[in-house]
Amino acid sequence: MTRLPVAPKPPLRRFHQARWDEPIVFELSTPGSRGIGVPEVDPAIGATIGDDATLPAAIRRENPPALPELAQPQVLRHYVRLSQENLGADFNIDVGQGTCTMKYSPKVNEVVIRDPRLYDTHPCQDPATAQGTLEIVHRLERMLAEISGMDAVSVQPAAGSAAIWANVSMIRAYHASRGEGEQRDEIITTIFSHPSNAACAKTAGYKVITLHPDEHGYPDLAALRAALSDRTAALLITNPEDTGIYNPRIAEFVAAVHEVGGLACYDQANANGILGITRARDAGFDLCHFNLHKTFSTPHACGGPAAGACGVTEALEPFLPGPVVVRDDDGTYRLDADRPQSIGKVSPFYGVIPNIVRAYTWIMTMGAEGLREVAEIAALNNNYLAQKILQIPGASMGYPETDARIEQIRYTWQELTEQTGISTEQIGWRAADFGVHYWSSHHPFVIPEPFTLEPTESYSRGELDEYAAIIAEVAREAREDPETVRTAPHRSTVHLTGHEDFDDPARWAVTWRAYLRKYPGAGVRS
């Protein structure tokens, strides 16, 4: 037998991330350099309209903008290099970021959104000339109403948290409309619900009451009853929670909230394991929200723009953000802004249209049976990965005696950490050396030394095996070569960085201007 003259591949990839030492784009600026050479004004035109031939004085800047000056190839190289220094969803087995549902965003949808009939439209143009776009918005809202069982949906929010914010705003408007706005000043959530629920409630001025789980990891109904009163505005709850545990008594939770006159609001951002299986309305919820960039496949886009959807019952429909897209009897679509009880806009114009179109396309390609199959495969993948992970010495599941998990699992390294001193964060840094993303959990760590895996339906069995093998390898290193783990990452774009800089507002510099202000002398060429 002849062999190829190449060394066989080792069982784990010899990954090494690009490290470009790339300066900030402002530092690359060369005065006078330009991306586009704008042609001189044609003499004939100049002769006709005189000095204003470039730009009318009224819209001319007095001072040029302080932008970096670069030619096109330098700009291209700069951003391609930065993209190589990421661990993006398109090239890593992105199952380590549980609760984020990092599923595949089909590339064909990028083709669809680049159709000039969509791409070249402007949000200010006459709705009569954007009927197709409005029809897609309307149809998507109706499909999400069907999926959730709710009466009305708005896809205006530009992210999951924006949708939660819209829901909290509607809750506030609803109670105010009934004269109970002042009295109902408390919102209840659970510690394993996504923290955006507590954050949005707080931002809206509510007092926030957080329930801790019972000893099996389920939301505690007795704790809810103890928290409820005539001051309760609403319960905001995720199900399954970020542990992957589904609350089988969710309808009782909703009923208990209704008994005191509160509203029940379902964070359905974790819907990937229950699509086509349960619906918010069937458990009695008044409001719900989806993350289109999770369950419905649109890109997460590095923290936005994303897309969220709010679903409500008829009683709350008047409060939906607006303007809303309505379909008249003759089949034309228009924007209705004449809704006095509406909470108003929660994002510019009508939402993130490209994502709305991607989500619509995805649902249409899946079909109703396809959506259910997504949920089933997501749950199967999760259980398959769990079998692999639980074989790793030192890894176990939070609440191991509660065995049902849906689409994600919060695991714990407690045993490994006690034996080796290696923490879940350190494991995550080392996992980056193998080219995969890994995340622990929200704070506080209720499950000690946590990590949260959510494989979705998008990953093959081979990829799940590879991810589990990487985690197993890092756990082995924690025992046999802890120094390597402790000083990781070694093969990544950056090495171990201090986190004080993130903790200290005096040192943050999230813009170039802040950087120059806080670090005098920075950016000056030596």
Partner 1 sequence: MTITVGLLVNPVAGLGGAAGLAGSDGADVQRRAAQRGGVSHAAERATVALDGLRSMLSAHDAVLVVAPGVMGETIAAATGLDAAVLDVPVSTPTSAADTTRCATAFAAAGVDLMLFAGGDGTAADVARGCGERIPVLGIPSGVKMYSGCFAVNPRAAADIARHFLAGRAAASAVPTTEMVEVIDLDEDALRDGQVRPRLTASLRIPVAPTVQSRKAPTAANVAEQAAAVAAAAADLLADGVPTALGPGGTTQAVADRLGVPGTLLGVDVVRGGNCDGSDSAGGGRLLAEGASEPELYDWATRGPLRIMVSVIGGQGFLFGRGNQQFSPRVLGAVGAANIVILAPEAKLAALGGRPLLVDTGDADTDALLSGYRRILTGPGQWAVYRVGERTDQHSTDQHQGAI
Ligand X SMILES: Cc1ncc(COP(=O)(O)O)c(C=O)c1O
Q: Which parts of this chain interact with ligand X (CB under 6 A)?
A: 99-100, 159-161, 194, 196, 238, 267, 269-270, 291, 306
Q: Which one, of 93, 106, 161, lies nearest residue 303 by Cα? A: 161
Rule CB under 8 A: say whether 199 interacts with partner 1: yes
Amino acid making up residue 72? Q
> From the CB of 219, what's the least distance to ligand X, in Å?
14
- Given the complex with ligand X, which of 158 and 363 has the nearer CB atom? 158
Residue nearer to partner 1 on the CB measure, 85 or 135: 85
Among positions 87, 227, 235, 292, the unique one binding partner 1 when judged by CB under 8 A: 227
What residues are paired with 327 via a beta bridge? 333
- Of 229, 237, 221, the C-alpha closest to 184 is 229
Beta carbon nearer to partner 1, 29 or 423: 423
Q: Shortest approach of partner 1 to residue 217 CB, angstroms?
A: 8
Query: Which residues neighbour 241 within 8 Å (Cβ) at sequence distance 6 or greater?
Result: 190, 192, 193, 219, 247, 270
Residues in region 421-480 near partner 1 by CB under 8 A: 421, 423, 425, 428, 439-440, 442-446, 448
Of all residues in the shown chain, the one whose CB is closest to ligand X is 160
Kind and range of the H or E run holding 327: strand 324-327
CB of residue 269 to ligand X, shortest distance in Å? 3
Residue pair 234/216 in contact (Cβ under 8 Å)? The answer is no
What is the nearest approach in angstroms of partner 1 to the Cβ of residue 26? 23
Q: Residue 22 or 286: which CB sits closer to ligand X?
A: 286
Q: Which amino acid is at 355?
A: N
Residue 466 C-beta: closest distance to partner 1, Å? 24
Reference 278, options 291, 260, 266; nearest CA is: 266
Q: How far is the CB of 160 from ligand X (least distance, A)?
A: 2
Report the site for partner 1 in 492-521 (rule: CB under 8 A).
Answer: 498-500, 502-504, 506
Candidates 281, 327, 388, 486; binder of partner 1 (CB under 8 A) is: 486
Q: Which is nearer to ligand X, 172 or 194 (CB)?
A: 194
**Among 50-58, 222-230, 323-331, 379-387, the segment contacting partner 1 (CB under 8 A):** 222-230
List the single partner that 207 binds among ligand X, partner 1, none, CB under 5 to 8 Å by kind: partner 1
Tell me: does residue 191 bind partner 1 (CB under 8 A).
yes
Compare residues 100 and 227 and give the one whose CB is closer to ligand X: 100
- State in Å, rounded, how far the first CA of the chain is from the last one: 61
Residue 306 interacting partner from ligand X, partner 1, none (CB closer than 5 to 8 Å by kind): ligand X
SS3 152: strand
- Alpha carbons 263 and 267: distance in angstroms, whole number: 13
Peptide bond into 482 cis (omega under 30): no
The alpha helices in 50-183, defined as continuous H runs, are: 72-84, 108-113, 116-119, 131-148, 160-177
Query: b/e per residue, 462-472, with b = 16+ CB within 10 A?
Result: ebbebbbbbbb
Does residue 195 interact with partner 1 by CB under 8 A? yes
CB of 452 to partner 1, least distance (A): 10
Buried b or exposed e, range 358-373, using 16+ CB within 10 angstroms: bbbbbbeebeeeebee
3-state class of 310 per DSSP? strand
Sign of CA dihedral 303, 307, 312, 317: positive
CA-closest candidate to residue 253, choices 303, 190, 301 = 190
117 binds partner 1 (CB under 8 A): no
Binding-site residue total for partner 1 (CB under 8 A)? 46
CB 411 within 8 A of CB 452: yes
Q: Which two tokens stand for residue 196?
A: 């955006």
| Shortest separation between residue 401's beta carbon and partner 1, angstroms | 12
Question: Which of 302, 514 has the CB closer to ligand X?
Answer: 302
- Which residues are CB-contacts of 283 (< 8 A; sequence separation ≥ 6)? 250, 251, 254, 266
Using CB distances below 5 to 8 A depending on partner kind, what does residue 327 bind out of partner 1, ligand X, none?
none
- Residue 203 Cβ vs ligand X, minimum distance, rounded to whole Å: 13
- Listed ranges 67-75, 121-129, 220-228, 366-374: which one lies at the site for partner 1 (CB under 8 A): 220-228
* Least spacing, CB of residue 377 vs ligand X, in Å: 19
Cβ of residue 290: shortest distance to partner 1, in angstroms? 19
Near partner 1 by CB under 8 A: residue from 156, 238, 420, 458: 420
Binding part of the chain for partner 1, among 29-37, 65-73, 417-425, 509-517 by CB under 8 A, reads 417-425
Among positions 161-180, residues that touch partner 1 (CB under 8 A) are: none
208 binds partner 1 (CB under 8 A): yes
| Residue 291 vs 423, nearer CB to ligand X | 291
Long-range contacts of 319-324 (CB under 8 A, 24+ apart): 319/169, 319/170, 319/173, 319/174, 319/177, 319/343, 320/152, 320/154, 320/170, 321/154, 321/156, 321/157, 321/166, 321/169, 321/345, 321/346, 322/154, 322/156, 323/350, 324/154
d(CA 131, CA 137): 10
Smallest gap from Cβ 166 to ligand X, in A, equals 12
CB-CB contact of 114 with 307 (8 Å): no
Q: Binding partner of residue 380 among partner 1, ligand X, none, CB under 5 to 8 Å per kind?
A: none
Chain residues binding partner 1 by CB under 8 A are 191, 195-196, 198-199, 202, 206-213, 215, 220, 222-224, 226-227, 303, 417-418, 420-421, 423, 425, 428, 439-440, 442-446, 448, 482, 486, 498-500, 502-504, 506
